[in-house]
Each structure stands twice: as structure tokens, then as C-alpha cells.
Amino acid sequence: MSEDIFRYFVAAGVALASLAAVVQAVVILLIFRTARRVDEKVDHLKDKAEPVLDNARGILEETRPKLKELSEQAVEVASKTRAQVERLDQLVSETADRAKVQIERIDLVLEDTVGRIQETTAAVQSTILRPVRQIDGVVAGLRAALTTLARGQRATVDHATQDEEMFI
């Protein structure tokens, strides 16, 4: 290759490199302008968001001790409630056991009472009702005798036979 051609190639390469540098400079300027616009918008948003964030931070700082206190109280209430429930469970268990014992005692007393009532009924029947029946039988016999004597008439043989035949 000749020296002139080489110089043209070198000149073309330098021109191409210069053109690339100019294009890069333009692109950098465009990126800079875009970055500046984005920065302005972010500053604008920052100005609007900063009071909201400060307000939220203030609310969070105010409520943090209250929330901590509330959670501590909730834990305390839960532990007291658990203790009360355990005591109540123990009381109910003891009461149920005592009631069971008392019910068993009442059952025994009722069984004994029923047995005694039956014995008393049997004693009343054998002691009082038997003699009353005997006396009633004697009174019925006396009444029949007095009725027969009061009639004064004896039944005829036909009538007596008829009565006997009815029983046969």
C-alpha cells in the first residue's frame, strides 16, 4: 500500500473517531439534560413526600411507646386470664368431685329410706291389718248370726236344698 492511501485511511479513521467523539458528546449532553429533568421531578416529589414522611415518622414515634405499653398490658392480661382459668378449672373439678360424693351419699340414704318404708309397710300390714281383718270377720259372723236370729224364720228344706245345690 502506498503512503497516500495509508494517509487517507488514517485520515478517515481520525475523522470517524472525531465523529464518534462528537456523537458521544451529544449523547452525554442528552443524558445530562434528561438527568436534570428527572432530578427536578424527584426534587419536586421529594418536597411533596418529605412532609408526609416526617408526619408518618412523628406518628410512628408517638405510637411506639403506646404500642409497647399496650402489648405489655395484653401479655399481662393474658397471663392473669390464664391463671384465673386454671384456678376456675381446679375449682370446678373439686366441686364436681364433692358433688359426686354427696350424690352417692344421697343415693345411699334414699335406698335406706325406701327399704325402711317397705319394712314399715310390711309391719303395718302384718300388725294392724291382720287383726283388723280378723275383727272384721268376727263382726261379719256376728252380723250374720244376728240377722238370722232377727228373722226368726228358718228357711224351708226346699230353700236350703236349693241353696246347697247352687254351691255344688
Q: State residue 51's pLDDT score.
A: 84
Query: What value does the mean pLDDT of the chain take?
Result: 86
pLDDT per residue as tens digits for the range 74-129: 999 999 999 999 999 999 999 999 999 999 999 999 999 999 999 998 888 778 87
Domain enclosing residue 88, as ranges = 3-151
- Domain assignment present for residue 159? The answer is no
- Domain assignment present for residue 161? The answer is no
Q: State residue 95's pLDDT score.
A: 93
- Domain assignment present for residue 157? The answer is no
How big is the CA angle at 34 (ends 28 and 40), to the nearest 5 degrees? 135
Q: State residue 147's pLDDT score.
A: 82
- Domain assignment present for residue 167? The answer is no
**Is the pLDDT confidence value at 9 over 70?**
yes
Residue 163 makes CB contacts below 8 A (sequence gap 6+) with 155
Pure H helices in the chain: 3-124, 130-151, 157-167
**Is the pLDDT confidence value at 62 over 80?**
yes
- Domain assignment present for residue 168? The answer is no
**Is the pLDDT confidence value at 160 over 60?**
no
- Domain assignment present for residue 118? The answer is yes
Q: State residue 159's pLDDT score.
A: 57
Cα–Cα dist 24/19, whole Å: 9
pTM of the model: 0.38
- Domain assignment present for residue 156? The answer is no
Total structural domains in the chain?
1
